[in-house]
Amino acid sequence: MKLRDVAIGANASIYYKLDFKRIKGVFYPRTTGELSQVIKMASEKGLDITMKGGGSGLSGACTGGDSERVMVSTLQMNDIISVNLKGGYADVETGVTPDELNARIGVDGYKFWVAPSSRDIATVGGLISTDGGGNDAWVNGTMRDNTIWVKMLLSTGDEITVSHEGVRADDSELEARLNEIGMNLGDVASAHGTLGAITKMRLKIKPIDGQRLRGGIAEFEDANALGNALAKMIDKQIPIAYGESIVYAHPHIKSILNPPLLILEYPEASHDVLSDITNMRQLSRNETDAMKAIRLQLPKRNPNEGVQIALFEGYGFHDQSLARLQEAVDRIHALLMENEFVPFAQYGHAPSKWYLGDNTPAYGIIMHSREIQPADKSGIEKFKVVKQIVNLCKELDITPKPEHKWIFSDKTKLDRLRELRSVVGTRFNSFVLDPNCDRILEAMA
């Protein structure tokens, strides 16, 4: 195995121009004991530590930026330690993927219900660090909702256990200080590896339910009408099992679709309340599967000329931004066109759930976008457009990249991480908190 394979090989983000001279070691620990030695060595040498799971995170956090650092892969810490079906939980090491866990518990009719599209490669340690979720986050929640506790090694050498209730540690003084400032699992969720090394986790598992679902499709006059219908579904807490919105499709692919539209799967008992909200055309099983397949094909299709890219990838529309969805889509389109990117497809999980930087849950659409790539744009030029989109999101009250979080713009989260690091130590993934984080990323784009 080569350094490049670990440091850059699995890095799904657009930030891959790494300065290898600043990476002072690459480690693949198999046990907490080995990991503990790496942390001790790095701390003694004054080096930063970047934890890395599957490398599927899109924020660039798993690269470690430009810090003088050691890289630690968790891919060998992938044991399913024990499963307690009756208790509804499984204890696992950080490097396990949702697919691996489900392969083990599926035979007993149980499931771990966090299902991102990357569930075959993303590790549970990476998923809690980005608070990932799947298409069904509306009913099953995000990673934090499905985690009972995490064990974490700090740069001080201490081990802490963090749950929704607070922190436990052998060092009673440390435990008291962290509980005084209210540290809990919400802080670890989406911390992007800045607090410590997660080693083990207790995850919730539930039986696979056999409820009968209906499929349906609703088409809307404009995006505002779609946003309003979603707001009502959220208000009535309809347990929609699969919800996908297609907000926009380029003329090259529009012939097969008539967006804005919603494809839904929902329990039969919800049919009447859903019909009151929107004009739902019922779909047969085959038709539902065909619509889901079209949605899956959108990111795989190319325009007749050129190629599509995911310049920005994700937006979270919630509260009032749902009612003004059309304006937001138009403004984003205008910004893209000004910069010669042509919108290609916009679609997303809806209704969905994610958390804002202050840990309040948000409900709405997590929309993905694809654009047609201009032939001659450099990485830096693309990054500059991305930054403009982040600013536009703020203006429109949209969460930029809700699934993987846009690191440098979430001031509330960053301030909270700084507060926590004043107690747990500052050795882990420091570039995320650097005031110049955006410039560091830009140089790597």
Ligand X SMILES: Cc1cc2nc3c(=O)[nH]c(=O)nc-3n(C[C@H](O)[C@H](O)[C@H](O)COP(=O)(O)OP(=O)(O)OC[C@H]3O[C@@H](n4cnc5c(N)ncnc54)[C@H](O)[C@@H]3O)c2cc1C
Minimum distance, C-beta of residue 237 to ligand X, in the bound complex (Å): 22
DSSP sequence for 20-73: GGGEEEEE--SSHHHHHHHHHHHHHHT-EEEEESSS--SSSGGGTTTSSEEEEE
Minimum distance, C-beta of residue 407 to ligand X, in the bound complex (Å): 9
Q: Which of the stretches 36-44, 53-61, 176-184, 391-399 binds ligand X when contact is defined by CB under 6 A?
A: 53-61
**How many residues touch ligand X (CB under 6 A)?**
34
Instruction: Decide if residue 12 touches ligand X (CB under 6 A).
Output: yes
Give the number of C-alpha atoms closer than 13 A to the C-alpha of residue 269, restricted to the C-beta side. Answer: 3
Interface with ligand X (CB under 6 A), residue from 94, 155, 224, 399: 94
Interface with ligand X (CB under 6 A), residue from 67, 78, 102, 118: 118
Taking Cα atoms as reference points, which of 173, 199, 175, 217 lies closest to residue 36? 199
The token pair that represents 385 in the structure block: 């457009």
Instruction: Decide if residue 53 touches ligand X (CB under 6 A).
Output: yes
Q: How far apart are CA 199 and CA 161, in angstroms?
A: 10
Interface with ligand X (CB under 6 A), residue from 36, 76, 117, 326: 117
Q: How far apart are CA 187 and CA 70, in angstroms?
A: 24
Interface with ligand X (CB under 6 A), residue from 47, 183, 198, 444: 198
Instruction: Decide if residue 111 touches ligand X (CB under 6 A).
Output: no
Instruction: Decide if residue 132 touches ligand X (CB under 6 A).
Output: yes
Instruction: Decide if residue 116 touches ligand X (CB under 6 A).
Output: yes
Q: How far apart are CA 400 and CA 321, in angstroms?
A: 13
Interface with ligand X (CB under 6 A), residue from 23, 39, 51, 445: 51
Residues 285-304 that bind ligand X (CB under 6 A): none
Instruction: Decide if residue 7 touches ligand X (CB under 6 A).
Output: no
Select 53 or 343, whichever has its Cβ closest to ligand X. Answer: 53
Q: Which of the stretches 24-32, 56-64, 255-263, 269-277 binds ligand X when contact is defined by CB under 6 A?
A: 56-64
Instruction: Decide if residue 197 touches ligand X (CB under 6 A).
Output: yes
DSSP sequence for 163-184: ESS-EEESSHHHHHHHHHTT--
User: Shortest Cβ contact with ligand X: which residue?
Assistant: 126
Find all residues with CB under 8 Å of 381, minimum gap 6, and list them.
none
What are the DSSP E strand ranges found in 109-260? 110-111, 147-153, 159-163, 167-169, 197-204, 206-207, 213-219, 242-249
Minimum distance, C-beta of residue 377 to ligand X, in the bound complex (Å): 21
The token pair that represents 160 in the structure block: 């802490």
Instruction: Decide if residue 52 touches ligand X (CB under 6 A).
Output: yes
Q: How far apart are CA 36 and CA 332, in angstroms?
A: 46
Residues 387-416 that bind ligand X (CB under 6 A): 403-404
Sign of the C-alpha dihedral computed for residues 137, 399, 166 and 80 taken in this order: positive
Question: With contact defined as beta carbons under 8 Å apart, do 202 and 124 qualify?
Answer: no
Instruction: Decide if residue 437 touches ligand X (CB under 6 A).
Output: no
- On the 0-12 / 13-18 / 19+ scale of CB atoms within 10 A, 2 is exposed
Instruction: Decide if residue 316 touches ligand X (CB under 6 A).
Output: no
Instruction: Decide if residue 98 touches ligand X (CB under 6 A).
Output: no
Instruction: Decide if residue 63 touches ligand X (CB under 6 A).
Output: no
Interface with ligand X (CB under 6 A), residue from 67, 78, 102, 123: 123
Q: In the complex, which residues of this chain contact ligand X (CB under 6 A)? A: 12, 50-58, 61-62, 74, 94, 116-118, 122-123, 125-127, 129-130, 132-134, 192-193, 197-198, 403-404, 429
